[in-house]
Amino acid sequence: MSLVLLADDDAQLRMLVARALTGAGHQVVAVADGAQAREQLQHGGFDLALLDLVMPGESGMSLVKSFTPEQRPTVLLMSGMTDVGPRIEALNAGAVDFVVKPFVMAELVARVNRHLAQKVQATLVDGGIPAGPVVLHPAGRFVQTPDGRVDLSELEFSLLAYLARRAGEACSKEELLTDVWRTEWASSTNLVEVCVARIRHRLGPHFPVRTVRGRGYCIDA
């Protein structure tokens, strides 16, 4: 089941889209403005974000531009604007699609399904990165465990892949914030701990990361 973030200040449209996506088998977190959307995205875990272009708090365009490719989930923007300019800007900023309102609900769901399926199809040419008892597949952004496949958000996968590529090394919290989050957050922030906890929850007994007291996190070589 894919986890989708839906952000739109139109309550009725938000309800209808959430209902349609849930009916298509997706888990949906729906919020009403850009500030709430940013808060959810910072926690990570989303496979796809469906964002309104213009919202209170912060625009969908601003959200797309503010995240690095490593942090950004698959993003579709929605807008009632028919001008081609914002669409081109959105795609250049990193959005994978732009949907013009009003739209046919079945078409929107089909677009969401297509973009989610592309991650799976990409795994056919993906060699994989070993990490203890699991194998990371970057193209599809999933982890193959002895019990099966586990999908991760872009941020979760980026953190795990970073540690896997430096197997045998203890990576400090500051290194991870700089190299994975691409930010200079104060070391007192708990972003790393929260992300590690989410990965641990998803992978369960196959979680390959070890905490090295006083030094950081490590995946054994």
pTM, two decimal places: 0.59
- Highest mean predicted confidence (pLDDT) among 65-74, 90-99, 124-133: 90-99
* Fold of domain 126-219: Arc Repressor Mutant, subunit A (1.10.10)
Question: What does the alpha-carbon distance between residue 161 and residue 140 come to, in Å, rounded to a whole number?
Answer: 13
Domain ranges across the chain = 3-121, 126-219
Answer yes or no: are the C-beta atoms of 209 and 219 closer than 8 Å: yes
pLDDT in tens, 13-71: 999 999 999 999 999 999 999 999 999 988 767 889 999 999 999 999 999 988 766 56
- Classify domain 3-121 by CATH number: 3.40.50.2300
Question: What does the alpha-carbon distance between residue 90 and residue 74 come to, in Å, rounded to a whole number?
Answer: 12
Question: What does the alpha-carbon distance between residue 142 and residue 88 come to, in Å, rounded to a whole number?
Answer: 29
Lowest mean pLDDT segment, chosen from 38-42, 154-158, 188-192, 212-216:
188-192
